[in-house]
Amino acid sequence: MATTDSSISNSDSLRRAAIDRSVKGPVLFLFANAAMWLLASTVMGLIASIKLVSPDFLNYDWLWFLNYSRLQPAHMAALVYGWAMQAGLGVAVWLLARRSGQALSGGAGTMLVAGIFWNVGVTLGVIGILSGAGTALQWLEFPSFVWPVLLIPYLVIAVNMIVHYNRANRQQGFHLTSWYLLAALLCFPWIFLTGNLVLNCFAAATPIGAIGAGVNAWYVSATIMLFFAPLGLGVCYYFIPKITGQPVYSYQLAQIGFWGLIILGGWSGFQKYMGGPVPSWTAAVGGMATILLLVPAGIVALNHHLTTSGKHSLIETSPTLRFIFVGSASFLVTSGIAALISNFWTGTNFQFTYAEYGYHLAAVYAFFSMTMFGAIYYITPRLAGCEWLSARLIRNHFWFSVYGITALVACMVIGGLAQGQSQNNPDNWNQPFIGSVINARGYLVGRALAWAFILWSNFWFFTHLVFMVLGLGRRSVAPTLLVHDHHDERPAAVPAPTHPPASATA
Amino acid sequence: MTGSRKFLFGLAGAFGVPWLLLVIIPVIKAQKLTPEAYDKDRDGIEGVYPSTSIDRQGQLVYISEGCAQCHTQMIRPSFVGILDGWKKGWGSDQSDQPKHAVRPSKWEDYMGEPVAPLGIQRNGPDLANYGYRAPKERAAIHLKLYAPRASKTNAWSMMPSYRHLYKVKAIEGNGSSHALEFPEDMAKELKPKKGFEVVPTPAAEQLVDYLLSLKKDAPVPGEVVAEDAK
């Protein structure tokens, strides 16, 4: 199982430092750029949300490209490819290097160049969507020439790390974290290539009509279930034992949870168009798989909870554990929302409403991003050679993110229900569409406010991270823990408090 | 090492089966769809199904503007609380109380479209059969695209304005015959200045062509009789 920090021998820490040094460049580059895209996506999400309430906001002639219909896909694409995947790749590089137990012999420079090209791809894509070259395929909105610019850098980074891990790790057998990470890294190119070849290349030559929309929904679902979920859960399985110093509670449960996710993940997706022009069995299977996914999600959540058990006080002090704890809990919530909107009993009022946006944000933000934040708070000081500047900034980031994303997901799911119920209400048969617009408006105000909260938190996260990447952090051997407001006077070498400090709940 | 091989085979199998069954086979089947002729004795009409086709040029405008973010093109079957089929104006029957529910969309309806923009959300009305309920004059559709909240009756609309698909130019002579006409109660700042008129660009004309071509409830061969018996 994962080694704990309490048993460091000198040679161990030297080896770790060498591993960290060998991946420093690409990982910090990916983190900094990911945070930049997160900020950009948050700004776009905020403007798009305001436009839903007040369509004339920023509605100037020269801002013609900021229509909701272009801003919303650009916002989601920046969130998914700019932030989430990029941060995920950075964390995966570091984790696989650490898991392999060996410093990279080379390839860091290549991965850095690949990282640059990934960002070039995302930039081209976002500009492409805004300027009207988008494909209108959900999560594949980037202009159709962009996907190779994303796939090749991805493969360079992923193959490099998988080969390194495989070479170094021949004798040790598989580790839970590595299983999850490798599953994510291997599945995504398959999903991405399938989505793009079918929808961008194949369909242009031989039309596939409505099935194309189904494949698109499958792509989104598979990316969540077979890339974001395993990567985020792998990160949880690494850091929870590491920080609590306790082994994973049950290896058997973990295995069931892993294979359950992998086996079911690929089946979901088509239920987005249930009752529509896709073969009805595909939607039925998708809905069933999504409901069955509650089982592995519950198993994983239980395992994480039992692993943390007895050490919950560490959540107060460790920024990493705090974010990861929220992320891990959110996976269960995400699965619950997915099950709710994916079947014919409860999903009829959720289909085609804001609830789907709420589900995507629960998956990409409340679950995945939170685990990434946790990992970044752990990894960056080890690579940058300095400690986080301010516990207050971390706390600020944590609380505004948690409040923001909770409000956002709740508003979108409940608002989606209000919207869908109004559309399906027999009283509105002969009405124009006004009912569902008015019913959901209050929740859209909530959505805009929540994005404003998240913008505030991410602005400080970005600033803080940039200081760290530039090596301008605190010079100290003690990590920045969330115990004191003024850590500068009293370096945080105190043991974990037995009761929550007042400042942490502010 | 057996551990890693087991892992790889397990992964490939677990993901490969749904990949093959959900994506590859349906895609191959979908591209083999061909129009089907109606049987005059059975269906009572002649011709082929689907009888309508969409305007592809306009669909490209629809795609690049991202209309599918808020508009679906899919009628769901009328059961378990779904009323798409009974909505006023969502099918060819435009009366207040349609006699029959609009039939749910089938994948044959989207034959020939590279990837059908079925839609991401339904923040605006479904457009599967918009061609039937579109206003008689093209100018009215243009006005909706140019200024969605043009009159007081649709001030609640949250649709973005697609003004960038239109040109404001000085009136020459009697003015263009395509120029938009604006309602009396429209806000002054939305109207062009005196001596100027608003004309659609070719992209706007194509988009309207596409919207008018959306008629996805053609009778299905072999199902017409059953539909009437309801």
Quote the pLDDT of residue A481: 83
Domain A10-505 in this protein, CATH class: mainly alpha
- C-beta atoms of B33 and A183 within 8 A: no
Shortest CA distance from B63: residue in chain A: A136
Q: Within a domain: residue B80?
A: yes
More confidently predicted of A146 and B184: A146
Q: Within a domain: residue B198?
A: no
- In this complex, which of B33, B65, B163 lies closest to A132 when CB atoms are compared? B65
- Across the strands, what pairs with B198? B168
Lowest mean pLDDT across A3-12, B17-26, B80-89: A3-12
Residue A349 structure tokens: 């009022």
- C-beta atoms of A68 and B70 within 8 A: yes
Q: Is the model's pLDDT at B127 over the cut of 50? A: yes
Q: Is the model's pLDDT at B132 over the cut of 70? A: yes
Chain A residues within an 8 Å CB radius of B124: 433
Q: Which residues of chain A have pLDDT under 50?
A: 1-4, 6, 485-506
Q: Is the model's pLDDT at B131 over the cut of 80? A: yes
Q: A462, A441, A456, A460: which is closest to A49 by C-alpha?
A: A441
From B131's Cα to the closest Cα of chain A, the distance in A is: 17
Three-state DSSP state, B166: strand
Q: Within a domain: residue B99?
A: yes
Shortest CA distance from B162: residue in chain A: A64
Residue ranges of the domains in chain A?
A: 10-505
Three-state DSSP state, A429: coil
- In this complex, which of B62, B88, B116 lies closest to A430 when CB atoms are compared? B88
Chain A residues within an 8 Å CB radius of B8: 186
Quote the pLDDT of residue A170: 58
- C-beta atoms of B23 and A134 within 8 A: no
Residue A162 structure tokens: 């998988």
Q: Within a domain: residue B167?
A: no
Q: Where are the beta strands (DSSP E) in B13-134?
A: 36-37, 48-49
Residue A39 structure tokens: 């900020």
Residue A60 structure tokens: 């100037």
Chain B residues within an 8 Å CB radius of A132: 64-65
Please tell me the distance from the alpha carbon of residue B38 to that of residue B217, in angstroms, as a whole number.
15
- C-beta atoms of B76 and A69 within 8 A: no
- C-beta atoms of A209 and B81 within 8 A: no
Instruction: With beta carbons less than 8 A apart as the criterion, state whether A124 and A80 touch.
Output: no
Q: Within a domain: residue B93?
A: yes
Label residues A105-121 b or e (16+ Cβ within 10 Å = b): eebbeebbebbeebbeb
What is the count of structural domains for chain B? 1
Q: What is the dihedral of CA A354, A356, A360, A361, to 10 degrees?
A: 30
- Non-local (6+) Cβ contacts of B202 within 8 A are none
Q: Within a domain: residue B124?
A: yes
Three-state DSSP state, A474: strand
Instruction: With beta carbons less than 8 A apart as the criterion, state whether A375 and A451 touch.
Output: no
- Tokens 């089982």 belong to which residue? A295
- Tokens 């479209």 belong to which residue? B113
Quote the pLDDT of residue A139: 95
Q: Within a domain: residue B193?
A: no
- C-beta atoms of A198 and B27 within 8 A: yes
Chain B residues within an 8 Å CB radius of A208: 27, 30-31, 114-115
Helix-then-strand count for chain B, H and E: 8, 4
- C-beta atoms of B107 and A211 within 8 A: yes
Q: Is the model's pLDDT at B225 over the cut of 50? A: no
Instruction: With beta carbons less than 8 A apart as the criterion, state whether A136 and A200 touch.
Output: no
Please tell me the distance from the alpha carbon of residue B120 to that of residue B98, in angstroms, as a whole number.
27
Eight-class DSSP state of B181: -
Lowest mean pLDDT across A430-439, A491-500, B93-102, B195-204: A491-500
Residue count of chain A, please give it.
506
Q: B136, B159, B158, B146: which is closest to B186 by C-alpha?
A: B146
- In this complex, which of B70, B80, B162 lies closest to A348 when CB atoms are compared? B80
The domain in which residue B90 lies consists of 40-139+204-223
Q: Is A201 an interface residue toward B (CB < 8 Å)?
A: no
Q: A172, A336, A352: which is closest to A275 by C-alpha?
A: A352
How many Cβ contacts (< 8 angstroms) between chains A and B? Answer: 228
